[in-house]
Amino acid sequence: MSAPSNSPMLSVKDLSKHFGDVKAVRNISFEVKKGEVFGFLGPNGAGKTTTMRMITCFIPPTTGTIVVDGLDTRQQDLAVRTKIGYLPENAPLYNDMLVSEYLAFVGEIRGMEPGRRASRIDEMVQVCGLTGMTGRQIGKLSKGYRQRVGLAQAMIHNPDLLILDEPTSGLDPNQIVQIRNLIKKIGEEKTVIYCSHILSEVSATCSTILIINNGSIVAQGTPSELMARATKGNRYTARIKAADGAAVQAKLRSIAGVSEVSVGAPADGYLPVVIAAEADVDLSETLFKCIVENGWSLSELKRESASLEDVFTQLTRG
């Protein structure tokens, strides 16, 4: 029996996976709401793929529980599999098959009736942008189109939960944008877990992000909530017209709260300057006054806030 509609699509509690002495996943717990695009972020080797393989019933956990739409993966693994669509980093494609043959084959092993199978193939061709590709051999498609075929196979049985493991790996910038837009469109109707180590893709696509490192959760929240956690202080960039770069550096460095000033080589008559502040205090007005009082010209002064990259680096370095 499915869980009530207000229950999470996925509930992971105290989940661990050990391979001998190697603790790949260490006692993690999290939930994914229905209709959410959830980012699962971490560096290579952090435990992302191992976690996804446990959720999809590919490997069993050492300890802990996984519940998908009210179904326990240990007790009801076959029922769980019907609710999940999975695109691993290396899509399970048969390069010698035609696109239409492959999707029909996947639908058949998913237990779909012929009539429903045919209608779903037509639908997936439209949704995944495969029009004109169904008669092509998979091995002769570009990487971007092979990823689209992988998405189609993951969704052919209309799963409630779609898990994408590094879906843009190896794609060029144009293909990445196409797949990103496709995932956003899919996320309007499905619950999606987007597993990646590419921060820009996750932040552009996901409403909630979980960061894992060395098998443990180190942060979770919206992109803005995570960026608010950064402890790097403030950084300012400026373009200052002055004859003496050393004097600029010394004057700005003497301001209370400034921890570091670097001055680059002049370009178009202006010195590029980077000012680092010690704490989260806005020094914009103080810096501006210092520049004006010293008779220098200013063409730019910009305060840079912490980025998701800053948060990721702080939480996963070492």
Secondary structure E strands in the chain: 10-19, 22-32, 37-41, 63-68, 71-72, 84-87, 161-165, 191-196, 208-213, 216-221, 235-241, 258-263, 271-277, 297-304
Number of neighbours of residue 272 by Cβ within 10 angstroms: 16
| Domain 235-306 of CATH type 3.40.309.10 | no
Q: How far apart are CA 9 and CA 160, in angstroms?
A: 8
Name the residue with higher pLDDT: 145 or 279.
145
Q: Would you place residue 2 in the very low, low, confident or very high pLDDT band (cuts 50, 70, 90)?
A: very low
Residue 118 has pLDDT above 70, yes or no: yes
Model confidence, pTM:
0.76
- pLDDT reported for residue 279: 67
Average pLDDT, the chain: 89
- pLDDT reported for residue 1: 40
Query: pLDDT tens digits, residue range 40-88?
Result: 998 888 999 999 999 999 999 999 999 999 999 999 999 999 999 999 9
Phi and psi of 262, rounded to 5°?
-125, 135
Residue type, 84: I
The 8-class DSSP code of residue 4 comes to: P
For residue 241, which of 280, 219, 274, 271 has the smallest C-alpha distance? 271
Q: Would you place residue 306 in the very low, low, confident or very high pLDDT band (cuts 50, 70, 90)?
A: low
Phi and psi of 67, rounded to 5°?
-125, 125
Query: pLDDT tens digits, residue range 130-184?
Result: 999 999 999 999 988 998 999 999 999 999 999 998 888 777 888 788 888 888 8
For residue 88, which of 178, 146, 198, 166 has the smallest C-alpha distance? 166
Region 293-317: what's the mean pLDDT? Answer: 83
Residue 207 has pLDDT above 50, yes or no: yes
Region 92-115: what's the mean pLDDT? Answer: 94
Q: Would you place residue 4 in the very low, low, confident or very high pLDDT band (cuts 50, 70, 90)?
A: very low
Contacts 24+ apart (CB under 8 A), 259-263: 259/233
Q: How far apart are CA 176 and CA 164, in angstroms?
A: 14
- pLDDT reported for residue 229: 67
Residue 123 has pLDDT above 60, yes or no: yes
Homologous superfamily of 10-227: P-loop containing nucleotide triphosphate hydrolases (3.40.50.300)
What is the tally of helices (H) and strands (E) in the chain? 11, 14
Give me the residue spans of the domains in the chain. 10-227, 235-306
